[in-house]
Structure 1
């Protein structure tokens, strides 16, 4: 029997799941024990959750292989490695039925043409979707709780650095980064003094100041600071020492201000 193995990464802060390589290894061992021919191995870095934003390009590749009849079975570590969305499950089920392909996970092979197999896999998909929804709700509650407490979420804000406990890796404090904080304050001061965003960006580039964010696209890496980048930095209210959540100020931040509120207000009037 010809099989395709599919492994997908998952956000797993408690490390209770399996890495992509571990998933592939377990499925490969299973196939070898059964004497099945491994036709292809596909590794996915996007989430199967319907809450994920990235397109699952490699999963679409798997569906194409199944539809083309190139394999007799799809092997995944568990049901949720393939989908946590009932709509996507229905698509997979139809592809398997139409192409006569089985689906194997958790050490069991399901013939999708059989009613019992469709019921079992459908129930597992329903449970996986519910768990994805619960996880999303927990994350949203955690993010809002952190916001109300003034704690950060996501990437570090330019101008600051995070200090962690060397043993526990818990965040101890957020403090101004000596070099970057100076740049933020200088940009704010110069706007208040009447300098243009172009002049500020040009000055930073001439002095070799690294940009706030390193561009992903090669043709933009040589641009360095731009007027737009300077403006994007100065319009962020977080520099006044407040915590923003869903576009609103919800608490005082756990980090010190780099720009006084009055100065920030005047900057907004100038930039807008």
Structure 2
């Protein structure tokens, strides 16, 4: 039987896709144990399943299911497929009409039965609840840090730093930003500013050389 592996990771901080690779490896092992042929591997890396944003690989998966091109979808867990009940209902509908099976590393869900559909909906609801609780905790933590005057960024913005969790001004960078504002207001080219900063040995907050693009981001 031809199957498709679908893998997804909401946030890839390193850009290496390690979590996705682990999912794929486990899914391949499951397909091999069952004697299935992996026709394709579809990946939505660094992409949330709860935001409602279009996921290209997920849309491709639905199209393959609808066309009857595959016999099963293999995922690590149902929450890799979706955390939204409205999306789950689409998957359930396609499984019912096309006969496609849903196999997960953590335990299969037979969407052709009422029990399987009920379990899938429960799992999706739990996954959605986890997202909402995480969001609530994060907002509360951000509010507390703001009340305490603590920085909330993960990457230092140019012109600022933090000491003991509190925001401090980097005077050299702050002065450069003030000069940049006057430079732009005077109608001068940003490229000139970039050239001068690099010549003066003034790096970005990450230690890199300035480019016109990075300077324009700070201007906005």
After TM superposition, is the score higher than 0.5?
yes
Structure 2 distance, partners of 1:111, 1:6, is 17
The residue that corresponds to 1:41 in the other structure is 41
Aligned 8 A contact 2:102 2:111 in 1? yes
RMSD: 3.2
Q: State the shift of 1:158 in Å.
A: 1.8
**Alignment CA distance shift 1:59-1:223 (3 Å):** closer
The residue that corresponds to 1:186 in the other structure is 179
Structure 2 distance, partners of 1:121, 1:225, is 48
3-state SS in 1 of match to 2:187:
helix
The residue that corresponds to 1:29 in the other structure is 29
| Structure 2 stretches lacking a partner, 5+ long | 206-210
- TM-score for both structures, normalised by structure 2: 0.78
Structure 1 distance, partners of 2:166, 2:115, is 55
Which shifted more, 102-111 or 60-69? 102-111
Which shifted more, 35-44 or 196-205? 196-205
Structure 1 distance, partners of 2:185, 2:11, is 43
Q: If you compute each CA radius of gyration, which structure gives the higher value, 1 or 2?
A: 1
**Alignment CA distance shift 1:95-1:211 (3 Å):** farther
Structure 2 distance, partners of 1:224, 1:93, is 45
| Structure 1 stretches lacking a partner, 5+ long | 164-170, 214-220, 233-272
Structure 2 distance, partners of 1:66, 1:202, is 50
Aligned 8 A contact 2:26 2:105 in 1? no
**Alignment CA distance shift 1:44-1:196 (3 Å):** closer
**Alignment size in residue pairs:** 206
The residue that corresponds to 1:143 in the other structure is 142
Aligned 8 A contact 1:187 1:200 in 2? no
